[in-house]
Amino acid sequence: MRKATAIAHTRINTIDVMRALAMFLMIFVNDLWSLTGVPDWLGHTLAEEDGMGFSDVIFPLFLFIVGLSIPLAINVRFKRKETYSAIIGHIATRTFALLVMGFYMVNCGVINQELTGMDEIIWQILMVAAFFFIWVDYNRLPNLHKGLIWGFQITGWVILIYLAWIYRSGTTEYIEWMRPRWWGILGLIGWAYLLNSLVYLLVHKRFGHVLVVFLFLLFMNVQENGFFEFLPSFTFVISASNHVLVMAGMLCTMFYLRFKKEELQINRFLGLIGLAGGLFAFYGFLIRPAFPISKIFATPSWTSICIGISLLFYALLFIVVEMKGNYRWAYPIRAAGTSTLTCYIMPYFIYPGIVLFGFQWPGILTDGFLGIVKSLLFSLAIILFVGMLEKTNLRLKV
| Residue 6: band (very low, low, confident or very high) from pLDDT cuts 50, 70, 90 | very low
CA–CA gap between residue 101 and residue 128 (Å, rounded): 9
Evaluate whether residue 230 is within a structural domain: yes
Pair 45, 53: CB distance under 8 Å: yes
Residue 263, pLDDT above cutoff 90: no
Q: DSSP E strands: which ranges in the chain?
A: 169-170, 175-176
**315-343, pLDDT tens digit by residue?**
999 999 999 999 999 999 999 999 999 99
Q: Output the pLDDT for position 11.
A: 66
Give whichever of 39-48, 62-71, 263-272 has the largest mean pLDDT: 62-71
- Indicate the DSSP class of residue 47: T
Tell whether the torsion through CA atoms of 205, 310, 338 and 148 is positive or negative.
negative
Evaluate whether residue 143 is within a structural domain: no
Provide the residue range defining the domain that includes 361. Answer: 13-110+181-391
372-375 long-range contacts (CB < 8 A, ≥24 apart) are 372/32, 372/35, 372/38, 372/42, 374/35, 375/28, 375/31, 375/32, 375/34, 375/35
Evaluate whether residue 398 is within a structural domain: no
Question: Across residues 230-253, what is the average pLDDT?
Answer: 95
CA–CA gap between residue 251 and residue 210 (Å, rounded): 7
Evaluate whether residue 135 is within a structural domain: no
Evaluate whether residue 361 is within a structural domain: yes
Residue 265, pLDDT above cutoff 90: no
Q: DSSP E strands: which ranges in 98-164?
A: none
Pair 392, 386: CB distance under 8 Å: no
Evaluate whether residue 84 is within a structural domain: yes
Evaluate whether residue 139 is within a structural domain: no
**277-317, pLDDT tens digit by residue?**
999 999 999 999 999 999 999 999 999 999 999 999 999 99
Pair 159, 129: CB distance under 8 Å: yes
Evaluate whether residue 140 is within a structural domain: no
**342-379, pLDDT tens digit by residue?**
999 999 999 999 999 999 999 999 999 999 999 999 99
Q: How many domains does the chain have?
A: 1
